[in-house]
Amino acid sequence: MARRMDHSREQLYELVLATAAEIVARDGYRALTARNVADAIGYSPGTLYNLFTNLDDLILHLNGRTLDELHDWLAARPASGDVAADLNQMLESYLDFLKQRPGAWNLLFEFVLPDGTDRPGWYQRKVDKALGLVERALKPAFRNGNGAGVKQAARVIWAGLHGICSLSFAGKLMVVSDQSMRDMAHALINHYLAGIHALAPAQKEARS
């Protein structure tokens, strides 16, 4: 069994998160326990609690890594300024990420902190950074500079896509539609954009 002195604190932090990610990828997020991680790296479970407050804290850090990876995955292709094309391309990248990292995606969205526990500021900043890509893609559709509208639209689309993907992952999408997850996701984006464009003249008149 490895001794604590075998790794620095920084090295052990990286080892724990890498091992936790491997467990999630191989066995699913429900297999992620302090004991399983500790056994895999050859340390005692107590060592993990020198790095993280508890398992929830470890999962937050792991999900933070996933958010960073998702951001970089979605940002790989620069925006063109064509809102529909950019969002639909971003959707394809998002679906590719789900296909490559289903365990990480499930943990990211299924994990819930205990009641009364707030997400730390650093974590929310990672969420906002990822959503910022959607906001930038949407911005040309809001020519009035409606920042609040852009933020809301990005979050509605994100939540809607999550619902479609979750139903598909659970094998329940056919209950509401015979369309594929991909087709429904693209329909959500295109119909939502059509609604934004339809409302734009009315918003312009209201400001006049």
pLDDT tens column, 42-62: 999 998 999 999 999 999 999
CA distance 2 to 43: 6
The average pLDDT across 148-162 equals 94
CA distance 32 to 140: 42
CA nearest 15: which of 70, 58, 53?
58
Class of CATH domain 1-52: mainly alpha
Region for residue 180 given its phi and psi (left: phi exceeds 0; alpha: psi -120 to 50; beta: otherwise): beta
pLDDT at 205 over 50: no
CA distance 150 to 134: 9
Model pTM score: 0.87
Tell me the average pLDDT of the chain: 90
Q: Is 198 helix (H, G, I), strand (E, B) or coil?
A: helix
CB 2 within 8 A of CB 43: yes
pLDDT tens column, 14-44: 999 999 999 999 999 999 999 999 999 999 9
pLDDT at 171 over 60: yes
Percentage of residues of the chain with pLDDT beyond 90? 76
Distance of CA 136 to the CA centre of its chain: 17
Contacts 24+ apart (CB under 8 A), 28-37: 28/103, 28/106, 29/103, 29/106, 29/107, 29/110, 29/111, 32/59, 32/107, 34/58
Indicate the angle between helix axes 55-74 and 102-110, nearest 10 degrees. Answer: 120
Task: Please tell me the number of Cα atoms within 13 Å of 189 on its side-chain side.
Answer: 23
Q: Which part of the chain has CATH 1.10.10.60?
A: 1-52
Q: Which part of the chain has CATH 1.10.357.10?
A: 66-207
pLDDT at 2 over 50: no
Q: Two tokens at 187?
A: 């329909």
CA distance 200 to 157: 18
Q: Which CATH superfamily hosts domain 66-207?
A: Tetracycline Repressor, domain 2 (1.10.357.10)
pLDDT at 43: 92
CA distance 63 to 69: 10
Q: How confident is the model at residue 6 (pLDDT cuts 50, 70, 90)?
A: confident
